[in-house]
Amino acid sequence: MRELTYSSVVQQAEWVASGEVSARELVEHSLEAIDARNSSLNAVATIMADEARLSADALDAQGRNSSELGPLHGVPMVIKEENDIAGIPTRYGSAAYSTPARADSEVVRRLRAAGAVIIGTTRMPEFGIWPFTESEAFGMTRNPWNLDRSPAGSSGGTAAAVAAGLVAAGIGGDGGGSIRLPASWCGLFGLKAQRGRMSLAPNADLWRSLGVIGPITRTVADSALIHDVIAGTTAVDRFHAAPLAGSMYAAATNETVPPLRIMVSTKNPSGGPSPDAETTEALKRTAALLATLGHEIIEADPAYPKLNVPFQLQLSGGIGDEATRADKPRRLESRTKTMLRIGRPLRRLGGWAERTASRLGEPFLDELFGRVDLLLTPTTPTAAWPIGQLQDAGALAAIRRATPVSSYTSVWNVLGNPAAAVPAGFGADGMPLSVQVIGPPNGELAVLALSAQLERHQPWAGSHPATG
């Protein structure tokens, strides 16, 4: 049998299509890995073993009678538990939800239509508020590279599951960095696509204009393939991105990347801490590699607009939106209740926050991407922090600890641009380092092409954690 552990989405789909491996074998392999490792990781929340086996058997039967298989036919995946899965409570990382969803979300529906097997849901902090996957109800999720470190958040359960080899890919969500931060701390690739690229149905939005849904993977090609499958909005969605000129998977697998103008900056857009020495060195190494590949490197700092207030106002509104869906609101965490109380009078300012972000952001983006094609920054100021960041922390203490972690990522949620966390080596302690590639509006194809070029010249997918 093929080596299944740490195999890619593309490999697994090809093996199933060729008959070398069955969907049932992939599912059983993932279930065995979850059984062996999830107790130490706390990455997977709900294990859908019986349903996954039935789905795999149906896909295998279909494969024997059909020459037209979906691009994810037979591939097991996990889903962050802010996405509806029929028959499963959409918990948002909270004990305040117990009512099963009546239908799949649009993203889950499209994954199933492409042949993916949903094998379980993944841990997140309550409402995805924090960049640490910890909760009072469900405990702490741990980083496979070091079980005493955090996988970040809020899609930390998905990232830990992928990094540990439980699955080849999983779905996360990103309202302030929640795909990119876990990808950064877990040595994975994570793209936050353009606002309006993916459907958020049955919800009109996620954290007002901030949030998007997307995969966390080990390879760029896997991410691009899944993005192609789930791209596109519905009438329910508030935001609709302009169609791309081509396939994301094609961009990620085309080895020809034209010379680009790339600005490199360590300036913190949120006014937070500068990157530490190892993160700075990883950024410099990446820039030097890009220069040898023929790109023009421009060392300069963007004149970032001040967007912290619009971000906080939209975050507050998003928390309030999700709290209204709780059927057992008394079970909300005490710090979440404090956030709701503080944010209640501010929620009416959500429209003002979106308009302000647009007014400040549009001239900034026009100027920046009139000068350069892409921007390269740190993803996070440091490698993974120790677990327990939220332990005994009230709302204000949690905010103080959380703010620096997302200080390089949240601005791109306010502005809506595509941005990707790209692995960039390891620190002296063996923990992954990362850089962030940011593109112009609707610039996913360029972001993916450059990320794939970096992957070809400094491959990371063959490096695996020893723990978990």
Catalytic residue set: 80, 154, 178
Closest CA to 223 of 232, 233, 213, 209: 213
- CA 311, distance to chain mean position in Å, is 18
Rounded CA gap, 346 and 338, in Å? 13
Closest CA to 220 of 456, 463, 465, 424: 456
Structure tokens at 59: 């896909």
Q: Which residues contact 456 (CB under 8 A, 6 or more apart)?
A: 255
Tell the residue number behind the tokens 């600890």, with chain if given. 401
- Count the residues in the chain: 468
Rounded CA gap, 439 and 194, in Å? 9
- How far CA 341 is from CA of 250, 261, 321, in Å, comes to 47, 46, 13
- For 169: left if phi > 0, alpha if psi spans -120 to 50, otherwise beta; the answer is beta
Rounded CA gap, 110 and 129, in Å? 27
